[in-house]
Amino acid sequence: MTTVTKYERWPEDDGGWSGLGDWHEPPEQLLARMRDKIGTVLFGKEEVISNVLVAFLAGGHVLLEDVPGVGKTMLARAFAAVIGGEFKRIQLTADMQPADVTGGSVWDGRNGSFLFVPGPIMANVVLADELNRTPPRTQSALLEAMEERCVTTDGESRRLPDPFMLIATQNPWDYEGTFALPEAQTDRFMMRLSIGYPSREHETRLLAALADNRMIDPAAMKPVVAVEEWRRMQRECKTVHVHPDLLPYAVAIVSETRSAAELEAGASPRASRDWLRAAQACAYMEGRRFVLPDDLIAVAEHVLAHRLTLQPSYAASGHTAASVLARIMRETPLPASVSSGRRRR
């Protein structure tokens, strides 16, 4: 295992998670197998798959902003399969009501009473497809579920399954018939990602598999881990050590987004929390029990950029939230005590 200098609280070890119980296989190897298995149905998108695993390990949700037909549903189904979880899909439309998402009470004539019928939100992995095609009233039905892991119907709060992970897709904002997501909802997504079109090589591979009837059905994939093992991974992920000097560095960057001239609105304290959790998950996926500065840097754009609102004048001149964030990170030096912990490029 790599030893990082000037991190005196991180002793040399063999990379195991001593004191946390024995695994039949190291967690980082299980996660690598999960990534590879999802990669058998989503060709050439290893980085996207890894980022989704990071977000879900950290207990977050993912917003996929992409054009139709690039594999968003397949990704969600495959992830549910490799953790042995239940998958449900919500096809959001302009006429949907909140009860269509959360569920509600219906009259049971046989018993002469109301019976609660769970909505599709009651699953381990939920795909909310085309989230920005449904009006804000229905979008808001997801707010409590995403943050509190519960839904309130008929005055009663009901817990969601554990684990609960949401993948929401949205069409590009300029598509006809879309509603902008409110800031309160955007802020609840740990990461915003884009799958993008496949390369020619991978699209050819996809067509060859279809022609030979070799395509794998994500729903038929066997789990790599059990749901309880996945929950354990999420718990262990929170124990990954973060050097105290990395915390002011992260806060300095987030604070700068709130005062940058190019931005109308900066990142929230929830963004700071999500950024830290995502960095811990990055380290955990590599089998480390400590966060490197590069873990924070690797996930910064995915976690922070979608929470930033550009000033219209800067947007018109070609700036993006990602470019402003990159400028802030370039101008914010790492503390000397942790700068030696960078990976060698």
For the segment 148-160, the average pLDDT, to the nearest whole number, is 87
Query: Residue 113 to residues 51, 108, 109: CA-CA distances in angstroms?
Result: 46, 5, 7
* Shared domain check, 281 and 189: no
Summarised one tens digit per residue, pLDDT across range 89-145 is: 999 888 888 888 988 878 777 877 778 888 899 999 999 998 888 888 888 888 889
> pLDDT at position 173, please?
58
Summarised one tens digit per residue, pLDDT across range 3-62 is: 333 333 333 334 444 334 588 889 999 999 999 999 999 999 999 999 999 999 999 999
Q: Is residue 205 part of a domain?
A: yes
Domain extent for 272: 239-345
Query: Residue 286 to residues 54, 247, 326: CA-CA distances in angstroms?
Result: 11, 21, 25
* Shared domain check, 214 and 265: no
* Shared domain check, 163 and 65: yes
Mean pLDDT of the chain: 87
* Shared domain check, 245 and 101: no
* pTM metric for this prediction: 0.87
Please name the residues in contact with 257: beta carbons below 8 A apart, sequence gap of 6 or more: 263, 266, 267, 304, 308, 324, 325, 328
Token pair 């219209």: residue: 312
* Shared domain check, 305 and 174: no
pLDDT at residue 2 tops 60: no
Confidence of residue 175 (pLDDT cuts 50, 70, 90): low
* Shared domain check, 270 and 249: yes
Token pair 């979880």: residue: 85
| Number of domains within the chain | 2
* Shared domain check, 230 and 260: no
Q: How many CB atoms lie within 10 A of CB 177?
A: 10
What CATH number does the domain containing 344 carry? 1.10.8.80
* Shared domain check, 186 and 311: no
Q: How many CB atoms lie within 10 A of CB 84?
A: 17
* Shared domain check, 225 and 333: no
> pLDDT at position 1, please?
31
Residue of 66, 60, 149, 153 whose CA lies nearest to 101: 153
**Which of 205, 237, 269 corresponds to the end of one domain?**
237
Side chain identity, residue 198 = P
* Shared domain check, 152 and 91: yes
For the segment 73-101, the average pLDDT, to the nearest whole number, is 91
Q: Is residue 6 part of a domain?
A: no
Tokens of 6: 């000037």
Beta carbons of 320 and 314 less than 8 angstroms apart = no
* Shared domain check, 277 and 226: no
> pLDDT at position 34, please?
95
* Shared domain check, 290 and 246: yes
